[in-house]
Structure 1
Amino acid sequence: MTTAITLSGVGKRFGPTIAVDNISAALSAGRVTGLVGADGAGKTTLMRLMAGLLNPDDGSISVNGDIGYMPQRFGLYEDLTVSENLRLYAELRSLAPAEQPAIFARLLDFSGLDGFQTRLAGKLSGGMKQKLGLACALVATPSLLLLDEPSVGVDPVSRRQLWRMVHELAEQGVGVVWSTAYLDEAERCHEVLLLDQGRLLHVGPPAELTKRVEGRCFVIKGGADRRKVQLETSARPDVRDSLIQGASVRLVMEEGAPPPKVEGHEVSAVPPRFEDAFITLLERKAAIPTLPPRHRPAVPTDGIAVRATDLVRRFDDFVAVDQVSFAVKAGEIFGLLGPNGAGKSTTFRMLCGLLPVSSGIAEVGGRDLAHAAAQGRQNLGYMSQKFSLYPDLSVQQNLNFFSGIYGLAGKTQRQTIATMRDVFALDPYGGTNAGALPLGFKQRLALACAIMHGPDTLFLDEPTSGVDPLVRREFWTHINAMAAEGVSVLVTTHFLDEAEYCDRLGIIFAGKLIALGTPDEIKAQARSDAIPDPTLEDAFVALVEKAQTS
């Protein structure tokens, strides 16, 4: 098998920080290699070294052929149309003008963007932007294609389309390196390079690593106290990992340890996943500090914290949200799912009082936001998908600003900021501008700013997009703890393993609510002879495809 790229003792330092530490590997052409690891593992640095954008301090890199590179950011010019972006990349790659029309037609068909040639890149959905970025990287077919976290912010339907496109390229002989923090994606690769703190922990097929935890994975079923069970089991020294999965709790035990017995619950063995093996391979078990107790939220007499009744939002002739209705109980975690552009964030913004409704009723804490938006917003926290932070302000300045606009002052403000810096491990970054933070710490800071005033209702719009499993577990430990105290949480996510943590889910497609129920109820709608045990992603894709054809 032809080698696409060879890494020999590659190292890279930034001052005293070792970003990449003596990595050696040979990656094959015609195969998809996953570059996997937690935030700060060295994935992007290694990707940039392979792309020739950085020079290694140690070792050497040998590439057999041309390179195509799709970076995390700044790959597209959003003020240019789809066609103009393709033309720009073609000219950068010195593609002859006579060859361009046929290549563009092939790439537009391949990426599903035919018909969108005149649309500005900035007006595309997240999934369409990523597919355009991939098309731009392919204007001259490379021997090696480097994709730096291409699925961040992309919905499950578009993510499957991206994977189909990438595997088609591999079948044509292109070597593909796909960097990701989503460990379910590692299972779709032919082989993986697993990094942690700059070191290479594993090279080979993902199944090789997954086999290491066979016989150590279990689920606890039954009872209505899954959050209590998860909290208690995660504190046990013989439990390596514990997380909520639908109505169950999934455990990974330390080697040789039997599963715990939980009264009133059934414990059964389950096949391991790559993420289970990843967690056990790390030398550390995450220790997550807890938020201090807070006041019990005020609960309306009917027990409903958030209610959407026939919500409609129009932008000129376009209906972004169409007759959406649901209710969120006090202390409930409600997940709002849907493809890019489905209307999730628009629904969120109406329920936060940030966007007026065209018709229908949005209520928070028993208040109709059309008549009492200011009072309704006083007791809610909002972490938006973008623009939650001021990037040119430091961590401390962001905390000072947001605590001030939420009405905190004096000793209370100082104590609250100190608590947030401690709980979210922000002390080392106090003077760092928010825009320069690693992604995981940006998200930590954004969550801290959203909750420092002790909101009764919390809106989280894709709070863990692109973060690694350790940060995701940290976030959900805090979210679960707040829900246990009675805080109502609405969350959007494209990462459907994470949606399993919610009490109930609503799926929006083309502005309409097409499904509503618990995670297990949603999965049951996709059960068939072909898929007897569907994942939530299987169910999501099936429901969206059904809605598209109805």
Structure 2
Amino acid sequence: MDAIAQSTRTARAVLAAHAIDKAYRRGAWPVRRVVPVLSGVSFSLQAGEIVGLVGENGSGKSTLMKILVGALAPDAGEVERVARLGYCPQVPQLYERLTCDEHFELFGHAYGIDARQERDARRALYESLGFGRYAGTRVGQLSGGTVAKLNLGLALLADPDVLLLDEPYAGFDWDTYLRFWNLVAERRATGRSVLIISHFVADEERFDRILDLRDGRVVPR
């Protein structure tokens, strides 16, 4: 890639991490120790790009994701966000006594979208992910797979420019897995970006790039 093309690509970055450090303190004084998790993590996500970030369990993937969305502060470095983010956490942040419909209404209000837009988006997501029959079912009565669909649907509700997914495959059956990739392909086609953090990547050809998180650093595969 020549210098002009590289400059253009960098200018279109919708999310960038710059020299991110993060460590946790373990144990009680006087044997307390510092355990480094992330060390100088830097990478960027471009418009219309699908990127996989792969690391073993305990490598700091979820810590990095929380820093990217602003839920956790880094010890050093910064995150540059120039687009609206949608976040699908590994552990769904849902309310067992609320129905799927009530979750969409609640999140729509939090996103600041009007009621009609929220209802239209909700219907489209029910159809795309195939769980409309559970619209009036409380979360506490849903299967793990349907909870995973709702978790993803809530991240997509406001049609974000950048979708950040932490271990999104958990609980997906084969049909849902294919529906998921159809949604990802549709987002790429409209110039939106997706970052998928996982401990494995099964279909590498679906990604534009795959990065590995090793020894606290991000390296291209």
Pairwise TM-score range, normalised by the shorter structure = 0.7 to 0.9
For residue 341 of structure 1, give the secondary structure of its aligned residue in structure 2: coil
Matched, 1:501 2:203: no
Q: 2:187 aligns with which of 439, 457, 482?
A: 482
Partner of 1:471: 176
Matched, 1:356 2:73: yes
Q: 1:312 aligns with which of 21, 30, 46?
A: 21
- Identity among equivalent positions (%) equals 32
Query: Is residue 394–residue 432 contact of structure 1 (8 Å, CA) maintained in 2?
Result: yes
Q: 2:138 aligns with which of 417, 420, 433?
A: 433
Query: Is residue 164–residue 196 contact of structure 2 (8 Å, CA) maintained in 1?
Result: yes
Partner of 2:85: 380
Matched, 1:340 2:42: no
Letter in 2 for 1:392: R
Q: Residues 411, 471 of structure 1: CA spacing in aligned structure 2 closer, same or farther, 3 A cutoff?
A: closer
Q: Residues 393, 382 of structure 1: CA spacing in aligned structure 2 closer, same or farther, 3 A cutoff?
A: same
Partner of 2:29: none
Quick one: distance in 1 between partners of 2:59 and 2:181?
25
Partner of 2:94: 389
How many angstroms does 1:448 deviate by?
1.1
Q: Which has the larger radius of gyration?
A: 1
Letter in 1 for 2:65: F
Q: What CA RMSD, in Å, does the superposition of the two structures yield over aligned residues?
A: 2.0
How many angstroms does 1:308 deviate by?
1.1
CA deviations 1:271-312 (Å, max 9, x no partner) are: xxxxxxxxxxxxxxxxxxxxxxxxxxxx99801111111111
Q: Residues 415, 391 of structure 1: CA spacing in aligned structure 2 closer, same or farther, 3 A cutoff?
A: same
Quick one: distance in 2 between partners of 1:336 and 1:474?
21
Quick one: distance in 2 between partners of 1:360 and 1:483?
28
- Output aligned runs, 1:22-421, within 5 Å: 302-316=11-25, 317-365=34-82, 379-421=84-126
How many angstroms does 1:382 deviate by?
0.2
Query: Is residue 129–residue 179 contact of structure 2 (8 Å, CA) maintained in 1?
Result: no
Letter in 2 for 1:313: K
Query: Is residue 54–residue 200 contact of structure 2 (8 Å, CA) maintained in 1?
Result: no
Quick one: distance in 1 between partners of 2:40 and 2:212?
13
Letter in 2 for 1:322: S
Quick one: distance in 2 between partners of 1:455 and 1:300?
20
How many angstroms does 1:347 deviate by?
0.9
Letter in 1 for 2:20: L
For residue 418 of structure 1, give the secondary structure of its aligned residue in structure 2: helix
Give the alignment's TM-score, normalised by structure 2.
0.85
For residue 455 of structure 1, give the secondary structure of its aligned residue in structure 2: coil
Letter in 2 for 1:314: A
How many angstroms does 1:498 deviate by?
3.7
For residue 497 of structure 1, give the secondary structure of its aligned residue in structure 2: coil
Quick one: distance in 1 between partners of 2:200 and 2:57?
12
Query: Is residue 97–residue 138 contact of structure 2 (8 Å, CA) maintained in 1?
Result: yes
CA deviations 1:427-469 (Å, max 9, x no partner) are: 2111212232223322221111101111111100011124222
Query: Is residue 341–residue 510 contact of structure 1 (8 Å, CA) maintained in 2?
Result: no
Structure 2: which 5+ residue stretches go unaligned? 1-7, 26-33
Q: How many residues align?
A: 206
Quick one: distance in 2 between partners of 1:344 and 1:301?
23
Q: Residues 343, 500 of structure 1: CA spacing in aligned structure 2 closer, same or farther, 3 A cutoff?
A: farther
Give the alignment's TM-score, normalised by structure 1.
0.36
Letter in 2 for 1:307: A
Quick one: distance in 1 between partners of 2:55 and 2:117?
39
How many angstroms does 1:325 deviate by?
1.0
Quick one: distance in 2 between partners of 1:492 and 1:509?
13
Partner of 1:370: none
Query: Is residue 465–residue 493 contact of structure 1 (8 Å, CA) maintained in 2?
Result: no
Quick one: distance in 2 between partners of 1:468 and 1:424?
11
Query: Is residue 350–residue 357 contact of structure 1 (8 Å, CA) maintained in 2?
Result: yes
Query: Is residue 104–residue 118 contact of structure 2 (8 Å, CA) maintained in 1?
Result: no
For residue 202 of structure 2, give the secondary structure of its aligned residue in structure 1: helix
Quick one: distance in 1 between partners of 2:165 and 2:44?
16
Q: Residues 402, 358 of structure 1: CA spacing in aligned structure 2 closer, same or farther, 3 A cutoff?
A: same
Letter in 1 for 2:81: V
For residue 446 of structure 1, give the secondary structure of its aligned residue in structure 2: helix
Letter in 2 for 1:310: A
Query: Is residue 493–residue 499 contact of structure 1 (8 Å, CA) maintained in 2?
Result: no
Query: Is residue 343–residue 510 contact of structure 1 (8 Å, CA) maintained in 2?
Result: no
